[in-house]
Amino acid sequence: MDKWRVKKGDTVQVITGKDRGTKGEILAVLRDERRVVVKGVNVCTRHKKPSMNNPGGLVKMEKSIHASNVMLIDSTDEKPTRVGMKVVDGKKVRVSKRTGSVIS
């Protein structure tokens, strides 16, 4: 299994593509496809058919982007950083390469 540097709930910045520079929270991680869904990034409009529970019409939704196109935001200086792994107190934790701080 590949190592994943980002997970649901992390704040990331898009580093390539049409939404480059946009920051957002990860809503979902699609491990099989190596993709992530980021809030407010890669937004498309879908036509939804009305149903009993849904009025239908135009619905805006986020589509997935490749996991390599995002970088984790370091909470100490609010800048994108690469992520490393380290063992602290017998647990494997994520560490910011920029500042060396542990990422929760």
Instruction: Give pLDDT, residue 16.
Output: 95
The mean pLDDT value for 78-87 works out to 94
Question: The pTM is what?
Answer: 0.85
Helix (H, G, I), strand (E, B) or coil at 4: coil
71 occurs within a structural domain: yes
Specify the CATH number for the domain of residue 71: 2.30.30.30
Question: Quick one: tokens of 48?
Answer: 């939804």
Q: How many angstroms separate the first and last alpha carbons of the chain? A: 21
pLDDT band at 2 (very low <50, low <70, confident <90, very high): low
- Residue in 16, 15, 12, 14 with CA at minimum distance from that of residue 26: 12
**97 assigned to some structural domain:** no
Calpha distance 56→19 (Å, rounded):
27
CB 24 within 8 A of CB 41: yes
- Residue 27 covered by a domain: yes
> Number of structural domains, the chain?
1
pLDDT, one tens digit per residue, over 22-75 is: 999 999 999 999 999 999 999 999 999 999 999 999 999 999 999 999 999 998
Residue 85 belongs to a domain = no
- pLDDT (average), residues 78-100: 93
